[in-house]
Structure 1
Amino acid sequence: MSRRRTWLPLGVGGGVLLLALVVSVAVGSRTLSPGELLGGLRAALDGLATDPSAGVVAARLDRTAVGAVVGLAVGLSGAAMQGLTRNPLADPGILGVNAGAALLVVLGVQYLGLSSAAAFVWLALAGGLLAALLVYAVSAASPGGATPLTMALAGAALSAGAVSVVAGVLVANRGALDTFRFWQVGSVAGRPASLLLDVAPLLVVSLAIVALSGRVLNAAALGEDLERALGQRVQLARATVALGAVGLAACAVALAGPIAFVGLVVPHLVRLVTGPDYQRVLLGSAVVGPVLVLLTDTLGRVVMPPSEVQVGIMTAVLGAPVLIWLVRRTGALR
């Protein structure tokens, strides 16, 4: 691929991302004019509460920041997991991250009485990481080692078990159900940008690992024998990339709850433009992921006024037909 063909899509994607950021702040139940947007932005940055648009802009800035980070994390995590497992249906749920996070959040609500978003962040982070480590330990202990198949099977088994425990707790405690369901649906509404500081250390480390994993993922696509022939320490390389992908997924789930289909669909959309080279796929996913989350979140605010549809529902509603289209038109999942 020529340099022009490499950077032109990236430039277009960057422009679309900038537009999505602006639309996310300007559009909602109350759409701001350019003058109101600029005035509210200046007032919000200066801490002036007297401007009527300042509160709206400040809340949407928080929502936009969280949505962009969640989209970045889920998009990159999905791309890395698909390359690592050589499974085109892989997403952050394949290693049990979502189920582990949900289980620990429910247990925290039930037995610790927690109900704040800040508390959910730490519970979801711990649950997602512990679940992924357990999945890897179980698959590594199998006769064939931690192969894509054994990791997928272990993830499915852990997810089924965790979902059963979650359902049992919620059936027994209606109050826990009322608290948990607002997190479980997947939403960036009401999440202060300060939550980003809570996940920043893990987010930065995981982002660095995945961003630099393009060559490892390209080698993984060739198979383990060729990976060894290329001089890679296969298990160490795969474990490092898996740790980064799980870290990103755990950060996203901690911030917004489980966001469906983004990690699954984004890498396929990117590959339609970039081809199979994972160095380009990762770069494209880092752009398309935030765009998809921000635009679906914005659409959810205006599709059923005066109420709104949470972004986790919108991504599922829009992601399912996109995935079907990819299968029928491009054979992307074959």
Structure 2
Amino acid sequence: MDMPKGRPLTLYEREQIESWLRLGRKKQWIADQLNRDYSIIKREIKRNSGEVLPYNAQAADYYASRRKRKTNKRKLEKWQNEKLKKYVEDNLNAGWSPEEIAGRLKDNPPEELKRCKDKAVSYESIYNWIYAGEGRFGGLYKKLRRKQKIRQRRFARKKQVKTIIKKRVPIMQRPEIVAKRKRIGDWETDSMIFTGESILSVQFERKTKLCRLHKCEDKTAERSEEALRDSVDSLPRNFWLTITRDNGSENVLHTETEVPSYFCETYCSWQKGGVENLNGLIREYFPKKSNLDMISESEVYAVQERLNNRPRKSLNYLTPNEVIALEISKKGL
């Protein structure tokens, strides 16, 4: 008679093992009677017997069923964490990154989660749930920055056209304090190109992560500089100390803006990495193939405020708007 393979021991078989052990039967004899491999019976007895207590069928069956339960289930897939899962899903749909969600949960958990067993989840666990867990069935990767089906980092360098800019001050002459992000007022600016004639003028404050977005009718320097001046006028003047620019043709009229400007080296966009990263966030709302001509100023402003109301790790998970509001209140502006 063939031995059953892959079938766990039943309670009835365990009761027989207990009875035969009490009668002093050998393990090999018990294995032959149950038509089981000797190693199975040996392991069963060894696992469920102690130095003092003998083998007990009821206890052995209980511990076997407990071991069989899946204990490494993802935190967001446990039924006890439905509220935590909903919080993560809602904020992914709101455009938050897994790191921002995890940071907010750690430092400022919402009231509805404070009584839950699990009040927080790491951003790696969120990524794992999105790509390998139940989150993959909802296509939640589309809510992430790069919308990649497979979690993989990819880098690309944009080609730039060299433009002659008069009175250009190189970034090497920029005050050293700007690189340290110790003060408010050091900005980076860039232009985003789309399929239509219109472009997006983007400004990014290095310390507070505050951004300003303006739709421009075209890529001319006049329109770009007008948009930049609108950004300058949106805040008190002492919040604008420097501007870091690239060497694009839209910056040839930089002298028309009173704020001192400094220019990156050619093909070194990483020298204004803050605004470059912001561009990636904006692409989530306005993909490169979008026709910006069809998008209104109010829609652009809505995206701007959505970005300014997202918690940032470097700000201890406060939002840029919260930080700038605190700074304005401190200075009584």
TM-score, normalised on structure 1?
A: 0.23
Query: Which protein has the bigger helix share?
Result: 1
Query: Which protein has the bigger strand share?
Result: 2
TM-score, normalised on structure 2?
A: 0.23
Higher relative contact order (CA 8 A, sep 6+): 1
Name the larger-Rg structure.
2
